[in-house]
Amino acid sequence: MSLNEIAARVQRNLDRRPLDSTLKFDCGQDGILTLAGGQAIVGDQPADCTIGISAANLEKLMAGKLNPMTAFATGKLKVSGDMSVALKLSKLLG
């Protein structure tokens, strides 16, 4: 799944349950997905919280095949910035 496909899926979730903060997924060389103003934007934007994760693990996370807490505990997901925003991630999954 490409970052654009992941963005489209996240956008459907944002349309149902908007996020009141900005969140960025930094997938390294695969790109950056920023959630801001109710939009999923492929590209780098300022954010309250940045989640470092590989594109493959982001895809697993979105598919429900990777638990966010397990990913964090095992180092597959790294959080910088406002941790409370990262905790809202579960709203976007599914």
- Domains of the chain, residue spans: 3-82
Q: What is the DSSP string of 54-71?
A: -HHHHHHHHTTSS-HHHH
Closest among 85, 6, 63 to 40, alpha carbons compared: 6
- Exposure of 34 by Cβ count < 10 A (0-12 exposed, 13-18 middle, 19+ buried)? buried
Q: What is the mean pLDDT of residues 1-8?
A: 91
Q: Does residue 93 register a pLDDT over 80? A: no
Residues 92 and 13 sit within 8 Å (Cβ to Cβ): yes
Read off the pTM.
0.91
pLDDT digits (tens, 9 = 90+) for 47-91: 999 999 999 999 999 888 998 889 999 999 999 999 999 888 776
Closest among 9, 27, 29 to 92, alpha carbons compared: 9
CATH superfamily of 3-82: SCP2 sterol-binding domain (3.30.1050.10)
CA pair distance 13, 10, nearest whole angstrom:
5
